[in-house]
Each structure stands twice: as structure tokens, then as C-alpha cells.
Amino acid sequence: MGLTLVELMVSMVIGLAVIGAGMAMYTTSGFAGKGSSALSQMGEDATLALSLMRNHIAMAGYSRMVLDPANNTMVKLYNGHPVFGCRFGVTSDTNDNFLSSTDPASAQVSCDNGLAAGNDTLIVLYEADQDNTIANGAAAPTDCLGNGLPPPITTNPLGSYSIAENRFFINANNALSCRGNSGAPPQPLVDNVAQMQILYGVATPSPTGTRGTVATRYLRANQVGDMNSGNWDQVVSVRLCLVIQSREPVLDAPAPFFDCNGVSTPTTDRRLYRAFSTTVVLNNRIFPN
């Protein structure tokens, strides 16, 4: 028994509807799969970046305790800055300087606060040895890139020591990068980092003038001040926020995201963005001195 033209047309319409529904489900499933994969990638990048920086920040200000025979007390070999930061990066004329330099002229680092926007730069300093860094082939301590450090500082009569000075920033390709004080060029560490914002937990000095041990306010680098007259000696914690982006565009259209300040921020691409944050206590600064 044959089909009439009407029955054939009805069958075709039903068949097309079923195929269309299947295609829609397939497309939706594809977008969902891409989104899930992007979220997983973003979480992995955030975990890697935050863990790496936490390890270095936690060592900020570390130095061995040695006996000072002059007054029979234990003192630290290194008493310089544990951290220093710039709101919008380092000025071009001091970009090649390092706070740990034994040359006073080369130990000055100034910030480019004249800019209206940009990512923060964080400098972390600590005494480096074979236990808190990965020793190189010469069994010597290294910087954040695994390169050997400059010659030990010998100006302290109580002993010589090596300083690792690691500068973290976001490069032009949206990668968390680091520059050590070994003299080697900076290198990217983690890709897909769109923004970095750092707040510094500043303690209030005690009435006797010694450093406080509890952060009473969190400030941006330019609010803490410059390296010479600022309140960097009062910094006891660091609050780090990174905005991670998806590797590929996965959205149907650009969508805003909430940045490190909780502000809705528009985008021009179809990538996912998410802010991740953590706070690190500078354990080597919890005791006033």
C-alpha cells in the first residue's frame, strides 16, 4: 500500500524535526564539553600559578640566624626588604636594577606610577641555599628560573650569604613571568594569566616603634610607598589575585567577568575569565625586630 503525498510530506517534516533536535543537542553538547574543558584548564593554570608564587612569597625575608658575639644574641644575616612591589611595573631606567645589588646605585628600583593601567609587579627577596631552592649543576642555590645567583654578599662580618631576588610580572603574551637576579632574561612560567593584582598587608608599628605582627589594612603598592620612604618594613602578608583566561574562545559571544575587585569587566573576545585569589603570611616577619 503506497503513501499519499500528504503522508509523505508529514513524514519528512517529522524526520527533519527529529534531525534538527539531534543537531541542536549535539551542538549544545559540544559547547558544554568545550566549556567544561576550559574550566578545567583554567583551574589547573590557577593552581600552578598560585602555588608557585605562594612558595616564593612564603620565603620572603628568610635568613639564617647566627650568633652575634658582640651582645650574645641571635640575629639574621639579611635584614633588607622581604618584598617590594610596583602598581604598574618598574620604570625603564631602573628595570635592570636589583634591590640585592651591592652597588648602591644599582640597588635602586622605582615604579612607573605615571601609568593609568597595567598589571602589578612583585619582587620577593630571601636568603637562598640548597634547601630552599633547586641547586644547579654546581650545587649552588638558584633563582626562580633555576639559574645560579650572583656571588655571595660578604659585607656582613657575621657571615656571607646569597640572596634570591625574583621579580614576578605578566608579560605581553598574558603569561606569568619571572626574572631572577642571575642576569638571565625573564621567562614565562604559566600561560593564560590575564591580570595580576597584589595587596600588601601592612601592620601598625607598636608604641615603641617595633614592627607590628598583624595586618591592619591592605594597600596597593603605590599606597605603601617607594622603596626608601615607604612602609615596606611593616608588610606582614601579601594578598595575591590572578585572573585566568581560557586558552581558546568557547563562548557564543563576549561576556563580562568579575575582576579582582569584584567589578563586572567587559571583554572583547569569547574567552572565559575567572579571578582566583590567596593570602600568604610572611612567616619570617611575624616577630617584631
pLDDT band at 217 (very low <50, low <70, confident <90, very high): very high
Q: How confident is the model at residue 16 (pLDDT cuts 50, 70, 90)?
A: low
- Do residues 135 and 145 touch, judged by C-beta distance below 8 A? no
Question: Which residues neighbour 255 within 8 Å (Cβ) at sequence distance 6 or greater?
Answer: 267, 270
Per the model's pLDDT, the better-predicted residue between 165 and 213 turns out to be 165
CA–CA separation, 97 and 58 (whole Å): 23
How many C-beta atoms lie closer than 10 Å to residue 196's C-beta? 21
Check pLDDT > 70 for residue 24. no
What are 115-169's pLDDT values in tens digits?
A: 667 899 999 999 999 888 887 877 789 999 999 999 999 989 999 999 999 999 9
Residue-wise pLDDT tens digits, 66-119: 999 988 999 899 988 899 999 989 999 999 999 999 899 999 999 987 766 789
What is residue 157's predicted lDDT score, i.e. its pLDDT? 92
Exposure b/e, 79-106, CB count within 10 A at least 16 = b: ebbbbbbbbbbbeeebeebbbbbeeeee
Number of CB atoms found within 10 A of residue 50's CB:
20
Predicted TM-score (pTM) of the model is 0.85
